[in-house]
């Protein structure tokens, strides 16, 4: 629980940062209009053609401020072991002293904005509240979209609700100590950057960056790094997972969460348009799921966010038409290209680039420029409510009952198209061992894996071994029949020639259909060394041009390759020492034992 009141914290922060003005934000349309006009006038925003893209804007960042700065992101727990081997750790007292020196006077000449926000529907029992202080109007507007900014949050806090103080500054004061004015830029930031989470006091301090998850502190900082700690302490799960509703032709609904590392098809699955007649997918969220047991002992999930903060490149009319339609208006684009007629473009939006593009740095671009028109991490920020396949229950305070959890990485080898865990414990083992082949040159060679357990590698706010233990504890506290079933999927397995064995995209609905039928116990599965595999005849392959040879290869369990994978897993688990749950070691030994029987 935060000791200071919001008013006391704001006053204390203002004394430290010395802003010229303090503005309390309310999330209103009037506030949006005022701040967008401000950003257009100072050059941070380019207003897009209102006939093509109403109420939408393009921002270009400093080239040195284009992505999360994971090497400058710290978990500041009292004891280093509580941060664990996958996080950067700093002593909290040391970090606070450093940050105070950086924040001192950091807002001179700028406006301090106080942004009260809710993660989750305001009246949801799963909602949590925060207040972000920032000197960036770009951040304020992005928080308008990504969270629920309102005075109602302050009312909740005034009645005793806990809240997370989240302090942010771009670190670019306009006045020096003597009051001498410095020129502003269209994207102020600082060469020195720190994103610090304090799990024992539930605080966030972010300095130097104005971009994405570094600055929108409701995003990864609160929803996952602090959220995972809150979940551990309070008995729930804060997860880097999409959330969808799958509906069968008979009208039966299945709610599914899925954890995928980056570049593994997460947003495409969140907005899936099934190729199977009669099947539908409705989006609830594409990035975060908070999962908690209800009074009946069933896990329910909410998407705590209110918007999409999506990677633009690769999002196109062929790959994700739903996303393209979602951003038709009321969208903030960052670091994409500008077209001649005042619209936006990025690689993958269409097959061919329009003529006379201006690239993300503001320079004229052509296919001969030798660099992409849009930055590879360029983004679109848009409200969930605009998604044409948004589920009507996406904003329900009660959340949705969770039927299944999927884990997946980008694996060219070993991992089958779909495999079901034997039980919750085995499912946690699946989540703990998510990995992807890291580079194209290494694809097909087992041994070059990037580990990303539960897709939480950059986002877990405490020791990853303890995080796995918490997952086990949640499962042990509930009845087995009430727990979601756990599956591992892999759309990316390749043949010996480097060609994908599975078509992916909308055809992934065929895997989702099999999962739904497993949940209904309509089909059986065959035991294997690594879990339960489909019986091929139970997969709906009607109309799909895929050979029997490809199907056999996509489900092949190679004994030698999996023994090698087990060795790599043992090496990885050794990093966690005493924090490794005994059950994870037991699951690894069971895998090895099963492989010897092949």
Q: Are 336 and 374 in contact (CB under 8 A)?
A: yes
pLDDT in the model for residue 449: 85
For the chain, where do the domains classified as CATH 3.40.449.10 start and end?
6-45+67-235
pLDDT in the model for residue 444: 43
For the chain, where do the domains classified as CATH 3.90.228.20 start and end?
239-306+395-557
Q: How far apart are CA 368 and CA 77, in angstroms?
A: 49
Domain 307-386 has CATH 3.40.50.720: no
Q: How far apart are CA 382 and CA 146, in angstroms?
A: 8
HEC sequence for 482-533: HCCEEEEECCCCECCCCCECCCCHHHHHHHHHHHHHHHCCCCCEEEECCEEE
Active-site amino acid positions = 264
pLDDT in the model for residue 438: 61
pLDDT in the model for residue 126: 97
Average pLDDT for consecutive 10-residue bins of the chain (598 residues)?
85 98 98 98 98 98 95 97 98 98 98 98 97 98 98 98 98 93 95 98 98 96 98 98 98 98 86 95 97 96 97 93 97 98 97 96 96 96 98 96 97 96 98 79 54 96 98 97 97 94 94 98 97 97 94 96 96 97 98 94
pLDDT in the model for residue 262: 80
Output the DSSP codes for 81-125: GGT-TTS-B--HHHHHHHHHHHHTTTTTTSEEEEEEEEES-TT-T
For the chain, where do the domains classified as CATH 2.170.8.10 start and end?
307-386
Q: How far apart are CA 442 and CA 248, in angstroms?
A: 39
Q: Which helix (DSSP H) or strand (DSSP E) does residue 596 occupy?
A: helix 582-596
pLDDT in the model for residue 3: 74
Which class is 239-306+395-557 in CATH?
A: alpha beta
CATH superfamily of 6-45+67-235: Phosphoenolpyruvate Carboxykinase, domain 1 (3.40.449.10)
Helix 424-432, helix 582-596: angle, nearest 10: 90
Closest CA to 551 of 560, 559, 540: 540
Query: In 10 A of CB 408, how many CB atoms?
Result: 25
């Amino acid at each position: 629980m935060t000791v200071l009141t919001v008013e006391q914290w704001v006053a204390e922060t203002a004394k430290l940062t010395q802003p010229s003005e303090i503005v309390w934000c309310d999330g209103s349309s009037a506030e949006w209009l005022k701040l967008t006009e401000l950003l257009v006038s100072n050059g941070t925003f380019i207003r897009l053609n209102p006939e093509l893209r109403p109420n939408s804007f393009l921002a270009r960042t400093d080239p040195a401020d284009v992505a999360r700065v994971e090497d400058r992101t710290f978990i500041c727990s009292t004891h280093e072991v509580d941060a664990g081997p996958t996080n950067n750790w700093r002593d909290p007292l040391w970090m606070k002293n450093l940050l105070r020196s950086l924040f001192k006077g950091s807002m001179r000449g700028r406006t301090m904005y106080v942004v009260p926000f809710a993660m989750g529907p305001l009246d949801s029992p799963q909602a949590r509240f925060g207040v972000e202080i920032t000197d960036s109007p770009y951040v304020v507007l992005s928080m308008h979209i990504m969270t629920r900014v309102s005075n109602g949050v302050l009312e909740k806090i005034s009645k005793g609700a806990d809240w997370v103080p989240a302090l942010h500054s771009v670190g670019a004061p306009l006045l020096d100590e003597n009051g001498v004015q410095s020129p502003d830029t269209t994207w102020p930031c600082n060469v020195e950057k720190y994103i610090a989470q304090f799990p024992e006091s539930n605080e966030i301090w972010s300095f130097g960056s104005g971009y994405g998850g570094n600055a929108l502190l409701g995003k990864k900082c609160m929803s996952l790094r602090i959220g995972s700690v809150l979940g551990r302490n309070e008995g729930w799960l804060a997860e880097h997972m999409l959330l969808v509703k799958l509906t069968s032709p008979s009208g039966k609904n299945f709610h599914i969460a899925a954890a995928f590392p980056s570049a593994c098809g997460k947003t495409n699955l969140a907005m899936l348009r099934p190729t199977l007649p009669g099947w539908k997918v409705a989006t609830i969220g594409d990035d975060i799921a908070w999962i908690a047991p209800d009074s009946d002992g069933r896990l329910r999930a909410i998407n705590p966010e209110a918007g999409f903060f999506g990677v633009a490149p690769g999002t196109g009319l062929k790959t994700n038409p739903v996303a393209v339609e979602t951003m038709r208006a009321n969208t903030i684009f960052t670091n994409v290209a500008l077209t001649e007629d005042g619209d936006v473009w990025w690689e993958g939006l269409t097959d061919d680039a329009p003529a006379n593009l201006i690239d993300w740095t503001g320079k004229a671009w052509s296919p001969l420029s030798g660099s992409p028109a849009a930055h590879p991490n360029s983004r679109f920020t848009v409200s969930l409510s605009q998604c044409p396949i948004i589920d009507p229950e996406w904003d329900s305070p009660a959340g949705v009952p969770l039927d299944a959890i999927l884990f997946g990485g980008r694996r060219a080898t070993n991992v089958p198209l779909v495999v079901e865990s034997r039980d919750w414990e085995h499912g946690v083992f699946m989540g703990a061992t998510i990995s992807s082949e890291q580079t194209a040159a290494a694809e097909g060679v087992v041994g070059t894996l990037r580990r990303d357990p539960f897709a939480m590698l950059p986002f877990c706010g405490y020791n990853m071994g303890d995080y796995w233990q918490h997952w086990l504890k949640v499962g042990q506290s509930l009845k087995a029949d009430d727990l979601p079933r756990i599956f591992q999927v892999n759309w990316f397995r390749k043949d010996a020639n480097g060609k994908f064995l599975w078509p992916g995209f909308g055809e992934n609905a065929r895997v989702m259909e099999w999962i739904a039928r497993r949940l209904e116990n309509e089909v059986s599965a065959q035991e294997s060394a690594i879990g339960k595999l489909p019986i091929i005849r139970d997969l709906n392959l009607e109309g799909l041009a895929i050979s029997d040879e490809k199907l056999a290869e996509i489900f092949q369990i190679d004994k030698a390759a999996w023994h090698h994978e087990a060795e790599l897993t043992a090496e990885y688990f050794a990093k966690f020492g005493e924090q490794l749950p005994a059950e994870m070691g037991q699951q690894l030994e069971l895998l090895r034992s099963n492989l010897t029987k092949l």
